[in-house]
């Protein structure tokens, strides 16, 4: 099995992805597992583009983080269904197994994990997706000791991959749900600081609001600003 460092930086080109599996794991998300033609290797944290094409050649494209490990024969994406989202609504409501979509990737070399640097992911909502890819890759390479994950969601029904993350030992923080071991509420310094022992890099992924909260929390825990990598998404006012 090759090391993760074997992943070469390549120029990416548009190719075709076929939907092999489609599920709606939470009320607001759609999970697609795609067979991608001529798929290059990817690092955990990278994303793919999906481009939709109308009969008059009008196109709409968006980028989505990859949840799968590079070793998975399929590329797994988890997409939040945004109200009036031109692409996400289409993926959730119209796309069927067997459909072909234009895809391009993997994109991005910054918000990626090398499976060598001890790291903490502080992720919220569909921002858990890159952390899922990191966990799956860590598991395959036997380096789960290097990665700690704090996943934040409203409640268990709204947090994608909650079961998988829980089984992998992630801290699940629900803002509106008391799970019996932890009262409802956002994660605190007291909760996160102990997880940072030995950690050299922090990954923050989530909505703009979540990212602002998470950045401030990590700074309060003493993480240097330069050790924080951020992926924000979603609109602001």
Give contact residues for another protein (rule: CB under 8 A).
9, 11-14, 16, 51-55, 58-63, 86, 90, 94-95, 99-102, 104, 107-111, 204, 208, 211-212, 215, 218-219, 225-226, 228-237
State both tokens at 160. 């994608």
> Closest approach of Cβ 142 to another protein, in Å?
28
CA-to-CA distance for 175 and 219, rounded, in angstroms?
Answer: 21
Q: To which residue do tokens 């703009």 refer?
A: 208
Q: Which is nearest to 127 in space by CA: 91, 170, 71?
A: 170
Instruction: Output the six-digit token pair for 130.
Output: 């890159």
| Residue 63 Cβ vs another protein, minimum distance, rounded to whole Å | 6
> What span, in angstroms and rounded, lies between the C-alpha atoms of 233 and 129?
12
CB 84 within 8 A of CB 92: no
Shortest spacing between CB 217 and another protein, in angstroms:
11
CB of 87 to another protein, least distance (A): 9
The structure tokens 């998404």 sit at: 233
Closest CB to another protein among residues 107, 189: 107
* Min separation Cβ 183 and another protein, Å: 28
CA triple 120-123-127, angle to 5 deg: 135
Q: Measured from the CB atom, is 105 or 161 closer to another protein?
A: 105
What is the C-alpha separation between 6 and 188, in angstroms, rounded?
Answer: 38
Q: Which of 96, 105, 97, 27 is nearest to 61 (CA)?
A: 105
Closest contact distance (angstroms) between CB of 69 and another protein is: 20
Question: Which residue number, 96 or 145, has a Cβ lying nearer to another protein?
Answer: 96
Measured from the CB atom, the residue of 108 and 124 that comes closer to another protein is 108
DSSP 191-204: HHGGGGTT--EEEE
**Nearer to another protein (CB atom), residue 109 or residue 167:** 109
């Amino acid at each position: 099995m090759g090391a993760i460092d074997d992943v070469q930086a390549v120029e990416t080109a548009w190719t075709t992805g076929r939907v092999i599996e489609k599920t709606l794991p939470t009320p607001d998300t759609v999970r697609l597992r795609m067979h991608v033609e001529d798929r290059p290797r990817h690092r955990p944290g990278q994303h793919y583009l999906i481009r939709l094409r109308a009969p008059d050649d009008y196109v709409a494209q968006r980028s989505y983080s990859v949840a799968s490990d590079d070793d998975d024969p399929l590329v797994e994406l988890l997409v939040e269904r945004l109200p009036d989202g031109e692409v996400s609504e289409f993926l959730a409501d119209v796309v069927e197994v067997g459909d072909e979509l234009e895809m391009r990737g993997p994109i991005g070399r910054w918000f990626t994990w090398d499976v060598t640097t001890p790291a903490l992911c502080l992720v919220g909502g569909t921002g858990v997706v890159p952390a899922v890819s990191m966990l799956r890759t860590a598991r395959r390479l036997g380096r789960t000791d290097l990665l700690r994950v704090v996943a934040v969601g409203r409640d268990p029904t709204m947090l994608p991959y909650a079961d998988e993350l829980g089984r992998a030992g992630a801290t699940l923080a629900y803002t509106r749900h008391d799970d019996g071991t932890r009262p409802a509420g956002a994660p605190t310094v007291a909760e996160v600081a102990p997880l940072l022992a030995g950690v050299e890099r922090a990954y923050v992924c989530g909505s703009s609001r979540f990212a602002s909260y998470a950045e401030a929390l990590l700074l309060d825990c003493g993480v240097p600003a330069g050790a924080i990598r951020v992926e924000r998404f979603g609109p602001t006012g």
